[in-house]
Amino acid sequence: MGLFGKKKIASGVDTTTEAANTPDKVQPYAALGLKDDEYARIREILGRRPSSSELAMYSVMWSEHCSYKSSKIYLRQFGEKVTPEMNKNLMVGMGENAGVVDIGEGWAVTFKVESHNHPSYIEPFQGAATGVGGIVRDILTMGARPIAVMDQLRFGEPSNPDTARVVHGVVDGISFYGNCLGLPNIGGETVFDKVYQGNPLVNALSVGALRHEDLKLAKASNPGDLVILFGARTGADGIGGVSVLASETFDSTGPAKRPAVQVGDPFAEKVLIECCLELYAAQVVAGIQDLGGAGISCATSELASNGGAGMRVQLQDVLKRDESLTPEEILMSESQERMMGIVPKKDFKKFKAIVDKWEVEFSVIGEVIAEDRLYINWGHEEIVNVPPRTVAHDGPVYERPVAFPSYQDALNNDSVHAHGLFRQNDNASELAAQLVQIVSSPNQADKGYITNQYDRYVGGNTALAQPDDSGMIRVSEETGLGISLATDANGRYCYLDPYQGARLALAEAYRNVAVSGATPVAVTNCLNFGSPENPEVMWQFKQATAGLADGCLELGIPVTGGNVSFYNQTGDVAIHPTPVVGVLGVIDDVARRIPSGWQDAGHNIYLLGTTKDELDGSVWSEVVHSHLGGRPPVVDLAYEKQLAEALNAASEQGLLASAHDLSEAGLAQAVVESVLRFGMGARIWLDEIQQRDGVDRTCALFSESTGRVLVSVGREDDVKFVGLCEARGIPVLRIGVTDNSGELEIQDVATWQLNDLRGAHEATLPELFG
């Protein structure tokens, strides 16, 4: 018998009175994902058994996804490992829908990345589409106009037949939803690895801009204000999609078999965005919350809890798509494109005029009350009577067991050297073949097949987008003030060393922002891991969060928010730990942004930073040797900071014609991308790198040492630029020159026609998925 089976419907809903009168009634809390002690705590809080509606609310809100019960104790350090200086520009920190950063001139920016991994495996198109929709609503909720999106994708092996299904669905879904919302897609990540085969990762980031005074918070604090649900109607889709509550808990004799998938309507969301922005401008909402995971359960309890008040709600006043919905289902439905607004009574008329103009449906479902209690009625029957805080914020907190992985030492000892992969005096033709093999491998190949399905122009403010290192958007048309965003994560590095891996992701995103000419100011993250119930996974999580928090402290930029996605595994096999780190930068005038490729002949090419023998975990070890072991590259964040400052100074003085960071596949990849960006030829020599840094050609080409950037400089700025680097202690070495030859020559290795290289770099994904 299911939880909300027919019998109960026929005999009426399970009220709070009934709950008080039938203390011994057996409740299927376990099927809803609650542990014995959690259920006992609910009974203790309420002083009785919960009604079925209350049980539904607690179960979704106390799920891992909503309550962060396994991660909370680790996420705290993002708020603790900070200096006052770091928080100086933080208008809203962690814990709200999204962090808000003051970027100057009266402008603020809010940004966040979130996962939609599991839904995107079941139904890739809708899963990915609604992932975009959800994160955009988070941004909208802060009072901001969403201005761009990004997507971080991890797929299984390209050759596996199921991968194409997921790639097509996910990319189509993001394209469909993001394009239809009118938000430029300004970047992301695409990685293929067999560890993601049964558990692809679909993370989506959105960023929005607002004037300082327009900041909105999700709270209901003034008694008498109206609680209004507006946007799409509530339907049966997505019930339990977010939590451990699966559709099977509704048995076939129940109202209906409810699907866990949600269907997105980007048109409705676009209208909702414009409608909300008009509501904000008219100053008629006192508080607002989007409906995402846990639907009305989440919105009502969080608004009330955040505002230190309570709420009285009449659930029958919710507009439904399907009249057969039970109260429990209404509370849990994750139907998309809905918002909950708190509107003072005196402003209701204005509110109504605006939503009517946009043809957005709404209903007043309740009222804010002074008492900190959430009462929900179904007609005359009271079905929920709880302290909102206990639902929204006082969920369980776990200190899960942590164990150093049994495989870890062996893995770290199995370096490229130990494995005998590393050979001195590698011959030229072999290196040349490896270079082509690498730049045409699915992870290093051009991502145009995907990114060309995304609108990067809409809005007319896109200053940089794919394939550049970061995405950049103009915020102020008057002054050119803008922001830059990059995200990174390297699951292979994190598997080898989650602490370093997280710092490496941070360093790379930071560098990607810096090479665009912007100053990094804030961090967001989406922590994708396996099951928290596995102590070895928990160790990875603990290490990665510590690495990220320590790294942010060293760089002096705060984490403003983020998201945790656990249970990313197939059977017992977890994905590589994949903490996606996003860095936000600010630039005073996007007109001075730095291109990532070479566009003028006769410019000198400089390599900033030094190259070490660091091939463990590299693309070279993966693509050429199918090997993963050893330790990831070291990262020196103090130096990264200096490097960023040097780039910024050079950019401000207009010395840089281009800058491109070195990361996966090292110099080889960066050089190929730089020649192909605008089709400018180049001649590169490696011998001075080899001599200065004491590395061989394989390392010079493919080592993934951090802190390196490839820049091109016009002859007239040469002396000044080199002087600037030397004065700041940045190793600088001229390694080549651009030319109109239509060729890339890497001396003593090979010469390629750019067209051939382009063919190799661009054909891979279309051949696999086109």
Partner 1 sequence: MPKIIVEVMPKEVLLDPAGKSVMNALHRKGHSASKKSDITAVRIGKRIELHFDREITDKDLADAREIGESFLSNGVIEDVVKISSEN
Partner 2 sequence: MKIGVVTFPGTLDDRDAARAVRLAGGEAVSLWHADTNLHKVDAVVLPGGFSYGDYLRCGAIAAQAPVMESIIKAANGGLPVLGICNGFQVLVESHLLPGGLIRNEHQHFICRDQKLIVESNTTAWTNEFELNQEITIPLKNGEGGYIATDETLKRLEGEGLITFRYKEVNPNGSMNDIAGLRNERGNVVGLMPHPEHAVEPGFGPDTTVAMRSGVDGLKFFTSVINSLVNA
Ligand X SMILES: Nc1ncnc2c1ncn2[C@@H]1O[C@H](COP(=O)(O)OP(=O)(O)O)[C@@H](O)[C@H]1O
> Which residues form the interface with ligand X (CB under 6 A)?
151, 153, 185, 187-190, 447, 450-451, 466-469, 488, 512, 663-664
Given CA atoms 17, 20, 25, 31 in this order, what sign does their dihedral have? positive
The residue whose two tokens read 């918070």 is 217
Q: What share of the chain is helix, strand, coil (3-state, %, to 5)?
A: 40, 20, 40
Identify the active-site residue in 65, 576, 603, 761: 65
- Helices marked H in 370-472: 388-392, 408-413, 428-439, 448-451
CB 164, min distance to partner 2, A? 14
The residue whose two tokens read 């400052």 is 645
CB 272, min distance to partner 2, A? 10
- Give, as ranges, the residues between 118 and 137 that touch partner 1 (CB under 8 A): 122-123, 125-126
677 or 728: whose CB is closer to partner 2?
Answer: 677
Of 199-207, 252-260, 340-348, 660-668: span binding Mg ion (CB under 5 A) = 660-668
Instruction: Clarify whether 419 is annotated catalytic.
Output: no
457 binds partner 1 (CB under 8 A): no
The C-alpha atoms of residue 185 and residue 467 are separated, in whole angstroms, by 11
- Give, as ranges, the residues between 225 and 284 that touch partner 1 (CB under 8 A): 232, 235-237, 256, 258-259, 261, 263-265, 267-268
661 binds Mg ion (CB under 5 A): yes
CA neighbor of 286 nearest in space, from 243, 338, 228, 245: 228
β 145-155/185-192 pair status = parallel
The answer to whether residues 317 and 364 touch, using CB atoms and an 8 Å cutoff, is yes
CB 501, min distance to partner 1, A? 34
Contacted by 455, from partner 1, partner 2, Mg ion, none: CB < 5 to 8 Å by type: partner 2
Give burial (CB, 10 Å; 0-12/13-18/19+) of 323: exposed
Identify the active-site residue in 116, 118, 603, 627: 116
Contacted by 661, from Mg ion, partner 1, partner 2, none: CB < 5 to 8 Å by type: Mg ion
761 binds partner 1 (CB under 8 A): no
Instruction: Clarify whether 212 is annotated catalytic.
Output: no
The sheet that has 310-314: what strands, in order across it?
287-290, 338-343, 226-231, 362-369, 310-314, 374-378, 381-386
Determine which residue in the list 96, 189, 290, 469 makes contact with Mg ion, applying CB under 5 A. 469
The sheet that has 743-746: what strands, in order across it?
658-661, 709-713, 604-608, 732-739, 681-684, 743-746, 750-753
Contacted by 236, from partner 2, partner 1, Mg ion, none: CB < 5 to 8 Å by type: partner 1
**Cis amide bond preceding 520, omega within 30:** no
- Structure-derived torsion over alpha carbons of residues 442, 445, 446, 448, reported in degrees to the nearest 10: -10
The C-alpha atoms of residue 581 and residue 286 are separated, in whole angstroms, by 32
CB 107, min distance to partner 1, A? 34
Contacted by 151, from partner 1, ligand X, partner 2, none: CB < 5 to 8 Å by type: ligand X
Find the helix or strand (DSSP H, E) in which 513 lies. helix 498-514
241 or 498: whose CB is closer to partner 1?
Answer: 241
Contacted by 488, from partner 2, Mg ion, ligand X, none: CB < 5 to 8 Å by type: ligand X
First to last CA, the chain: 47
CB 448, min distance to ligand X, A? 8
The C-alpha atoms of residue 627 and residue 367 are separated, in whole angstroms, by 61
The C-alpha atoms of residue 70 and residue 72 are separated, in whole angstroms, by 6
Binding mask 339-368 for partner 1 (x = CB under 8 A): --------------------x---------
85 or 477: whose CB is closer to partner 2?
Answer: 477
The C-alpha atoms of residue 681 and residue 741 are separated, in whole angstroms, by 5
Which residues in this chain contact partner 2 in the complex, by CB under 8 A? Answer: 172, 175-176, 179-182, 265-268, 270-271, 274, 358-359, 451-463, 474, 477, 590-591, 595, 599, 678, 770
Q: What stretches of 638-680 adopt beta strand conformation (E)?
A: 658-661
Contacted by 190, from partner 1, partner 2, ligand X, none: CB < 5 to 8 Å by type: ligand X
Contacted by 213, from partner 2, Mg ion, partner 1, none: CB < 5 to 8 Å by type: none
Interaction site with partner 1 (CB under 8 A): 122-123, 125-126, 232, 235-237, 256, 258-259, 261, 263-265, 267-268, 321-322, 335-336, 359
Query: Residues with catalytic annotation?
Result: 65, 116
Interaction site with Mg ion (CB under 5 A): 469, 512, 661
